[in-house]
């Protein structure tokens, strides 16, 4: 982490390889330990999926990383700075460099979508002129895949999927380096979920984001995640690509990825790949055959 030192400029970007480093994290609620000795390193520029059964503390982990939850023990470094022992509101020079999309969008309900996007801009960069700030808000909304007329709508007038996109627009308001997504596709229909996955991937590639993504969606894991971290037994038991994880001999991982839903997602992804890489008629036949086979299998 070369750039750590005195007089670090707040405009300067963190150049280390691991923008998020969690070491020996322990979270306890009363006697109940959610995390114990949890280690996790997120690589620059990757989409890291985080999976785990319900109640294994995926959201608690995210809240610990973004400083909303003070861990009982351990250290969390984001962009080279420890965020333990700082109040969530303290300016420590990293909060303007991440964006967070909460599960329900968490939009401010008394503001329109455009005004929601303006909030972080006003907070961190009051020197930006009104005209430019409004332009930024508008293009961020469009960039998140919302139609133009969504800009001046209130959150209550939006559908679930649109709320998530609006939340994403606000998370991207400051051009962050890190993006935290808490179950972005939960509650979306399959088409909307796939579109959101594509959007995440595209934005990651264009903006050069590092994405920390909590999900239950097996399709999301297969389609867009570079690596997947599995939380079980209060720790991260494995971080690897999906194919490598499936090789591991852990009962929960096996059940998760090789259960009926896991296999279906895998087949879907394999078919996708085939279609992408081969347009030859022979291949098309092969795909069709595979499709049919899958359909018959499903029926059976």
Partner 1 sequence: MTRLAEFELQQGEGGSVLALSGPYLVSTVGAVDEDLRGLDEPLARIDLSEVSEIDTVGAWLACQLASRHGAEITGASERATRLLGALTGMDSEQALSAPRLPVWSRVPEAMGEKMFNARSGAIGVISFLGAALISAGNLIRNPRRFRTVALVHQVELVGVSALPIIGLMSFLIGIVIAQQGAVQLAAFGAETLTVNLVGRITLRELGVLMTAIMVAGRSGSAFAAQLGTMKLTEEVDAMRTIGISPMEALVIPRILSAVLMMPLLGFYASCMAIIGGAVVGDLMLGIPFWTFLSRIQEVVPTYDVWVGLIKAPVFGLIVGLAGCYNGMQVEGNSEEVGKRTTLSVVAAIFAVIVLDAFFAVFFTELGWG
CB nearer partner 1, residue 58 or residue 133? 133
Cβ neighbour number for residue 256 with a 10 Å cutoff: 22
Least Å distance, CB 267 to partner 1, is 32
CB nearer partner 1, residue 135 or residue 273? 135
Least Å distance, CB 217 to partner 1, is 25
CB nearer partner 1, residue 136 or residue 168? 136
Dihedral sign from CA coordinates of 272, 162, 177, 51:
negative
Structure tokens at 246: 């499936």
Strands 47-52 and 81-82: unpaired
CB nearer partner 1, residue 11 or residue 32? 11
Each residue of 45-62: b (16+ CB within 10 Å) or e? ebbbbbbbeeebbbbbbb
At residue 188, the 3 state secondary structure works out as coil
Cα angle 108-181-118, degrees, rounded to a multiple of 5: 35
Least Å distance, CB 5 to partner 1, is 15
Contacts of 182 (CB under 8 A, 6+ apart): 59, 62, 100, 101, 102, 103, 214
CB nearer partner 1, residue 104 or residue 192? 104
Least Å distance, CB 12 to partner 1, is 9
- Partners of residue 52 on adjacent β-strands: 231
CB nearer partner 1, residue 205 or residue 255? 205
Least Å distance, CB 242 to partner 1, is 27
The DSSP result for 196-221, as a single string, is: HHHHHHHHHHHHT-EEEEE---HHHH
The site for partner 1 (CB under 8 A) is made up of: 9-11, 13, 96, 109, 112, 114-115, 118, 121, 124-125, 127-129, 131-132, 134-143, 148-149, 151-154, 156, 174-175, 205-208
- Check residue 14 and report its DSSP letter: P
Least Å distance, CB 139 to partner 1, is 4
Least Å distance, CB 137 to partner 1, is 6
CB nearer partner 1, residue 152 or residue 241? 152
- CA gap 32, 121 in Å, rounded: 39
């Amino acid at each position: 982490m070369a750039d750590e030192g005195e007089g670090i400029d707040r405009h300067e970007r963190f150049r280390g390889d691991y923008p998020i480093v969690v070491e020996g994290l322990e979270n306890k609620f009363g006697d109940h330990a959610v995390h114990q000795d949890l280690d996790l390193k997120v690589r620059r520029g990757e989409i890291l999926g985080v999976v785990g059964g319900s109640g294994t503390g995926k959201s608690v982990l995210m809240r610990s990383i973004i400083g909303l939850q003070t861990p009982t023990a351990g250290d969390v470094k984001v962009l080279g700075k420890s965020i333990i022992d700082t109040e969530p509101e303290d300016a420590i020079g990293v909060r303007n460099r991440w964006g967070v999309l909460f599960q329900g969008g968490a939009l401010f309900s008394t503001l329109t979508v455009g005004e929601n996007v303006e909030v972080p801009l006003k907070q961190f960069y009051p020197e930006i002129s009104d005209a430019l700030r409004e332009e930024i808000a508008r293009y961020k909304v469009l960039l998140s895949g919302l139609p133009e007329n969504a800009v001046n709508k209130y959150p209550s007038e939006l559908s679930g999927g649109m709320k998530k996109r609006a939340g994403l627009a606000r998370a991207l308001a400051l051009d962050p380096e890190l993006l935290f997504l808490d179950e972005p596709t939960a509650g979306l229909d399959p088409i909307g979920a796939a579109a959101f996955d594509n959007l995440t991937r595209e934005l990651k590639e264009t903006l050069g984001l590092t994405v920390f993504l909590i999900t239950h969606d097996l399709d999301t894991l297969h389609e867009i995640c570079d690596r997947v971290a599995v939380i079980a037994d209060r720790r991260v038991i494995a971080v690897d690509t999906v194919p490598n994880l499936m090789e591991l001999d852990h009962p929960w991982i096996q059940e998760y990825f090789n259960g009926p839903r896991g296999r279906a997602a895998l087949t879907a992804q394999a078919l996708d790949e085939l279609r992408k890489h081969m347009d030859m008629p022979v291949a098309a036949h092969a795909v069709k055959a595979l499709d049919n086979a899958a359909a018959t299998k499903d029926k059976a």
